[in-house]
Structures are given as structure tokens and as C-alpha cells.
Amino acid sequence: MMRRLLTAALLTLACAAQHAAGQECALTFTSLDFGTYSGTQLNGTAAGTLTCSGAWDIPLNAGTGAGATETVRKLTGPGGALLNYSLYTDAARTINWGNTTGNELTGTGNASINVYGRIVAGQSVAPGTYIDTVSSATTSFSVIVVIQATRTIAANPLSFGNYAGALISSSTTISVTCTKSANYNLGLSAGLSTGATVTTRKMTGPSSSLLSYKLFSNSGYTTNWGNTVGTDTVAGTGSGVSQTLTVYGQIPAQQFVRPGSYTDTVVATLTY
């Protein structure tokens, strides 16, 4: 079970063009909405209207993010975390919009102008609000995006093999992938068998026979793994890549049950 928190973000642009002395020019833009970023490529466009009687050029600087350049700008988020993005003059997003000769947007007279933004895929940063300020010749605009925290889990089967009355141990893994710095707790249910608890789980076999087993979060088989947050779940912090958690299982000795196959289903739940 996983819960997702969805947020939205707006990028507001307000820019003025450079113009010749005595020439009156005015430039306005609509908001550029990047939406939410969760690691996949994200594009956005702002529509602008320029009123000008002659030639003009519009430069955009690198912004205020640490280490930013006019080709790789930086949005700054929680704890100084940085998220790369770029601004372009063309819809294909191949021509960078900068403030050096050849990278400025130029033209003559009235015009409809778009600013094309892109946040590239594969960036793993902490969730939260990321902000930058980009300046033109006479004004500046804010760039804002919100990182959406994501969390996923994938579990592998736990096989004990053959049980003949002696204590038997085994293990399996659960993979947890969470946005960088996103906290989580992983719990394991009691299973489906009648009378099972998180401390004494039960597999069901032939004629509803029950075989008790236990699940632990440590290799010493001493820390029970249950589903009460703050008591017996496993806490962690996302790194942006898959994290492997080991589940240690054990069937106590001296259980005399009907021969056959015994199974149970345990639900792994992420809470945050």
C-alpha cells in the first residue's frame, strides 16, 4: 500500500526587452507551469507579447542558483538542494536562451514570443519547493517547481524449503525506492491464516493445518517485524535509487503437522 502526495507548481515570467534609446517597448508573459516533477522529463511554455517600434533583443542570465550557467540553470530547494533546468527560444528545445552574443532572442517590431522550459529526467533531489530568479536587461522573473515525493516497493517470495521438525531459517528481500530524503516506514502484516499475529504468523496447509513461523528485521532473529509504526516497523530515508531490505524468517522446532505444502501471504506496507 502506498500513498502519494500530489502538489502543483507555477512558474511566473515577467520580462522586458532591451531597446534602443527613445524607443518604447513592453513585454508580458503568461505563467509557465512546470506542474510537478517526479523524475521524468518535464516541459513548460510561457506565451509572451512584445510591443516595440524597432529592433530589440532579450537576454536571460544564468539565474541565482549556485553553479548555474546560462545553459544549465539551477533551482534551489530544501537545504540548498539543486535541480537543473534550461530555457530555450525554440519549441524543439535545441536553442538555448542566454545572455551572450548569439544566445539572446532578437527581432524587430511587435511579436508573439514563447519561452520554452525543460527539466531533464533522472534528477533525484529532496521533495519540496524549488525556486530561482532569472534576470533580463531591465527586469527579472521567478522560476518555481515542486518536487513530488514518490515511494514504491517490490517484494520477493520467502521459501523455507522442507521442514522436518527442526528449527529452520530463511530470508528474502524487499526493494524500496523513494525520492531522495523522503522518510518512510515499512511494515509487514500478520498474514492471512486464522489466529495469526505479527509475532506468531501461521502458514495454512492440508485440511487447514497450521504451521507457525516468525519474521524478523535483523539477522540475529531477535527483532520482530510487524506493522505498528514506531514499534516494530523498519524506518528509512529514500536515496532516489532502490534500497534493499532483508526479511529474516524462521520456523520454530517441534511442530508436528500434516505433510504437504504450507503457504501464507504477508502484505508489505509503506507509510509516511
Centroid of chain to Cα 189 = 26
Residue 23 neighbours by CB distance under 10 Å: 13
pLDDT of residue 244: 97
pLDDT of residue 218: 98
Cα–Cα dist 189/264, whole Å: 11
**Which residues are CB-neighbours of 136 under 8 A, at least 6 positions away?**
15, 16, 17, 18, 58, 59, 60, 61
- Which amino acid, one-letter code, is at 227? N
pLDDT of residue 134: 85
Domains assigned to the chain: 18-147 (2.60.40), 151-271 (2.60.40.1090)
pLDDT of residue 140: 77
Cα–Cα dist 145/131, whole Å: 7
pTM of the model: 0.70
Q: Which residues pair with 249 in a beta bridge?
A: 170, 215
pLDDT of residue 14: 34
Q: What is the mean pLDDT of each run of 10 residues along the chain (272 residues)?
A: 29 38 71 84 86 89 95 95 96 95 91 92 91 82 88 95 97 94 95 96 97 98 96 94 96 96 97 88
pLDDT of residue 85: 97
DSSP run (H or E) holding 73: strand 73-76
pLDDT of residue 23: 62
